A and B are shown apart, each in its own frame.
Chain A
Amino acid sequence: MRAFSITTLAVAALAALATSGAARADNERLAVFTKNQTNPYFQVVRLGTEAAAKQMKATVTHYVPTKPDSIPEQMNQIEDVIIKKPDAIVFIPVDYKAMVPGVQKINAAKIPVVNVTDRSEAGTFVTFVGASDYDLGKETARSLFKAMGGKGNVIAIEGVKGSLTNIDRVRGMNDALKEFPSVKLLAAQPGNYQRVQALQVMENLMQSFPQIDGVFAANDAMASGAIEAMEGANRKALVVGINGTKEAVDAINAGKLLATGDYNGFLQGCLGTMAALRSLRGQPVPKQIVLPAAVIDKSNASNHTVPVEQRGCPRWEDAVKG
């Protein structure tokens, strides 16, 4: 079954490349670790790393657990990669705590590593590149509450309980709620980041609450699930999601979704890769790069309709200020 994994294919490609002759001076080899092949977000991150590598004339090899978010599998992949000794590693831990021993192995092997998206609890990194889930939760919720005219009934559909992203996104939403005393949070129920669960939660909540004006979903898939549930029941409410997926941008353009917080996986992939290459080439890199929280809505959705495959990375100087 591993024959189907990107990893194996990429490893084979890399092996072919390595035997094909002398590498160019700037042809650094990077190993990129992402969490799974199922979530569109990580696909976008991978495309970002590829775009950056292409622009800076380096090559990337992807390591993705065949079982999504598998801790032992990512640990095995780290051990494999250390033996292959790439020039640098771009690393998204499948679990920010459980993968610390893996990071320590990378550190012990003296391979420079950039931490992306989920901040590892410990370990030495060139830099951290990520978005602030708290800020995204807060800004996206704000745009929802503003569009509701600062009053009405809201429902929150949460992601996986205990996950770092969910904790921070919901905390951000709750803090935004404090700024709008006339907005009432009717219920916060778990949808586990799953579309079908969010659909069912929404169907159930519509039974208890005859008047729902806004829905805050902790990711875009759940926002879509909530929208489907309301369309099925001929009801309407303003809905926001988080991640800025292509699906969400399409839904905004179609007038179904109000807004989505832009997690900007493509830029995270770009900057993570650029930071790794810059540090290899002796150029300065800040200790951390936290992307500003941007909300995609009707006013700027057209900027996001270019397919990710056709996008290029921005110039480092434009994207990283200060």
Chain B
Amino acid sequence: MSVAIAAGKSGPLARLPQGTRSVIYRLLAMMVIAATMSFASEAFLTSNNLLNVLRQASLLFLLASGLTLVILTAGLDLSVGANVALSACLAATVIKATGSVALGVSAGLGAGLLVGLANGLLVTLLRIPPFIATYGMLWILHGVTYWFMKGETIHGFPAAFRAVGSGYWLGVPIPVYVMLLFLVAGILFAQRTTWGQEVYAIGANPEAARLSGVPVKRRLVLVYVASGAMAGLASIIYLARLNSAEGDVGEALTLPAIAAVLVGGTSLFGGVGSMLGTLVGALILTLVLNFMNLLTINANWQPLVTGVIVVLAVFLDNLSRKGDTR
């Protein structure tokens, strides 16, 4: 920890851009957690367990990756969890009704994307603040899902489909490949494309972005569509892993996804943050649960431990950045 602080003030890291440094500090925070865990439990540093953590983080990362783009524009998408629920239930219904996995997957992905598009249009065309628009959307999606699921659970899908969630390729879980694919795509999009740079510009200063010729509304619609589409993809992974869908699957997903983005160093005020940071955020949140299970920490203490570790991880980063503000 003291090394990190020193580095923040005058070390070799000081020359790196602030975003990169921020990610490095969060990686350090994550490694501190991981190192502690490897001392505490010998099961932690095994390839099986690490792959297990990556697989568990993949669902959270997929949801959080689209959300990262939204938050980079100083927006918010509160409907991601409800979107996962609706998309998963729709995909499940279609697979059961038609027997076609391809149709079901298309339905799930399509539903997710359309919800994102609706969010984008609410925010841009109707000028509804993102918090309100997506909060309203959350309720609409819950309403539709509860109505057509009627409290039922749909379960039991073809083995080939389930492999998407629980299968392996070359010893690595398939969701991990999906996560890495979208991590690379997300980094390339955000850092290497004009559109990506425009997303940052909108978050930093929308008026300046508009004056310098950025099509602000179209880019905003794009980020909400991305967030919705990623929720649709997450719903497919969810369905394949859990082999079942019920109306309330998404409820517990929204806040952790937002937390993963913020713990990863993306600012709620827009313009600052990165995909890699969001991956680290998702990993930190997943590690905490893994850690508590491996040590079989008493159920009564788990919420408290979760809270303390999350706050500590970000505090460590703030501490290391003190140099920047002076």
Instruction: Decide: A203 and B56 in contact? CB cutoff 8 A.
Output: yes
Instruction: Decide: B152 and A43 in contact? CB cutoff 8 A.
Output: yes
Given A37-B146, A200-B56, A207-B52: A189 touches B299 (CB 8 Å cut-off): yes
In the bound assembly, the distance between CA atoms of A188 and B297 in angstroms comes to 9
In the bound assembly, the distance between CA atoms of A188 and B300 in angstroms comes to 11
In the bound assembly, the distance between CA atoms of A189 and B249 in angstroms comes to 20
Question: Which one of B151, B241, B294 lies within 8 Å of A208 (CB-CB)?
Answer: B294
Chain A facing B: main interface SS: helix
Q: Does B166 contact A (CB under 8 A)?
A: yes
Given A161-B300, A190-B299: A196 touches B242 (CB 8 Å cut-off): yes
In the bound assembly, the distance between CA atoms of A192 and B300 in angstroms comes to 12
Q: How large is the interface on B (under 10, 10 to 19, 20 to 34, 35 or more residues)?
A: 35 or more
Q: Does A228 contact B (CB under 8 A)?
A: yes
In the bound assembly, the distance between CA atoms of A36 and B151 in angstroms comes to 9
Closest B residue to A192 using CB positions: B252
Give the interface centre of A68, A188, A200 by most chain B CB atoms within 10 Å: A200
In the bound assembly, the distance between CA atoms of A146 and B194 in angstroms comes to 65
Binds A, one of B3-11, B42-50, B209-217, B262-270: B42-50
Contacts of B140 in A (CB 8 A): 1
Contacts of A207 in B (CB 8 A): 43-44, 46, 48-49, 52, 294
Contacts of B52 in A (CB 8 A): 203-204, 207
In the bound assembly, the distance between CA atoms of A39 and B247 in angstroms comes to 8
The number of residue pairs between A and B whose CB atoms lie closer than 8 Å in the complex comes to 122
Instruction: Decide: A40 and B152 in contact? CB cutoff 8 A.
Output: yes
Q: Does A59 contact B (CB under 8 A)?
A: no
Instruction: Decide: A200 and B289 in contact? CB cutoff 8 A.
Output: yes
Binds B, one of A87-95, A176-184, A243-251, A295-303: A243-251
In the bound assembly, the distance between CA atoms of A246 and B251 in angstroms comes to 22
In the bound assembly, the distance between CA atoms of A194 and B256 in angstroms comes to 15
Distance between A88 CB and nearest chain B CB, rounded to angstroms: 24
Per the 8 Å Cβ criterion, residues 283-309 of A in contact with B are: none
Contacts of A153 in B (CB 8 A): none
In the bound assembly, the distance between CA atoms of A51 and B182 in angstroms comes to 50
Question: Which one of B49, B151, B241, B292 lies within 8 Å of A42 (CB-CB)?
Answer: B151
Instruction: Decide: B43 and A196 in contact? CB cutoff 8 A.
Output: no
Closest A residue to B290 using CB positions: A204
Per the 8 Å Cβ criterion, residues 232-274 of B in contact with A are: 238, 241-244, 246-249, 251-252
Q: What is A's interface to B at a CB cutoff of 8 Å?
A: 1-5, 36-40, 42-44, 66, 68, 158, 161, 186-190, 192, 194-197, 199-201, 203-205, 207-208, 221, 224-225, 228, 231-232, 245-247, 250
User: A40-B152, A207-B44, A208-B43 are known contacts; what are 14 more A-B pairs with Cβ within 8 Å?
Assistant: A4-B147, A5-B143, A38-B151, A43-B151, A188-B296, A188-B299, A189-B293, A195-B244, A201-B289, A207-B52, A208-B41, A208-B296, A247-B153, A250-B156
